[in-house]
Amino acid sequence: MDEKKGIVEAIVIIEWEMFKNVESSVPASCQNSPESFREIRTSIYEEWPKPLLESYLQDLIAANEEGRNLVMEKYARMDNLLPPLEENPLINDIVRIEAAWQDEIRHQYPTLYQSACRTTDPADDGSNFSIYLKAELETYGDKTVEYYHKHVSEAEANNENLSLHMLERLVKKGGYEGLEHAEKQLCG
């Protein structure tokens, strides 16, 4: 296993341990399915550069050492049970970039989007993509947020949609040939 895959694996293991202890007003469908959780999260992290992965892994390790459950904190933020955890101004820019990517997916692959993605429609809970992402980013340390912002900003400058890359990886793990194939199959 190469070093990056090892980091991804370590992140997913720690997150799963945190995630399975979360109770939320909007339960996640993959909470009873470790394999679905693994596929979703690895599809995301395989897109991240190594410095971002290393920084986030350190956030998770530090949280564990402090007795904190970052996933529980994320869901508590989504449910408005906690005040904002982090006021880093880069978070709103990351959310802006990724929400635009989600809208692009929604228009290109509407059936797949409806099946696999959180909505960008207005909502005041974690079913809304922006609320979910902001709540997650608030659990990251400043260094991780900076790496994350650099990653998505560079992609935006290059007209790349990283969410599309992640979704493509996820549908392939689900047995589809790619995004177009998944869209056609889901349309019936």
What is the structure's pLDDT at 25?
59
Which structural domain, as residue segments, surrounds residue 105? 3-187
Q: How confident is the model at residue 124 (pLDDT cuts 50, 70, 90)?
A: low
What is the structure's pLDDT at 58?
99
What is the structure's pLDDT at 117?
54
What is the structure's pLDDT at 1?
57
What average pLDDT does range 96-105 have in this prediction?
Answer: 94
Would you say residue 96 has pLDDT above 90? yes
What is the average pLDDT value for the chain, to the nearest integer? 88
Pairwise pLDDT comparison (91 vs 29), residue with the higher score: 91
Would you say residue 120 has pLDDT above 80? no
Q: What is the pLDDT of residues 18-76, one digit of tens each?
A: 998 887 655 566 666 788 889 989 999 999 999 999 999 999 999 999 999 999 999 89
What is the structure's pLDDT at 162?
96
What is the structure's pLDDT at 31?
66
Per the structure, how many domains does the chain have?
1
Q: How confident is the model at residue 127 (pLDDT cuts 50, 70, 90)?
A: low
Residues making up the chain, counted from first to last: 188
| Torsion sign, CA atoms 21, 14, 12, 161 | positive
What is the structure's pLDDT at 57?
98
What is the structure's pLDDT at 5?
96
User: Which two structure tokens, joined as six digits, stand for 145?
Assistant: 């947020």
What is the structure's pLDDT at 128?
73
What is the structure's pLDDT at 28?
61
Q: What is the DSSP string of the chain?
A: --HHHHHHHHHHHHHHHHHTT---SS--GGGG-HHHHHHHHHHHHTTS-HHHHHHHHHHHHHHHHHT--HHHHHHHHHTT-S--S---THHHHHHHHHHHHHHHHHHH-HHHHHHHS-B-S--SSTTBHHHHHHHHHTTS-HHHHHHHHHHHHHHHHTT--HHHHHHHHHHHHTT-SSHHHHHHHHH-
pTM of the predicted model as reported, rounded to 2 decimal places: 0.89
Would you say residue 121 has pLDDT above 60? no
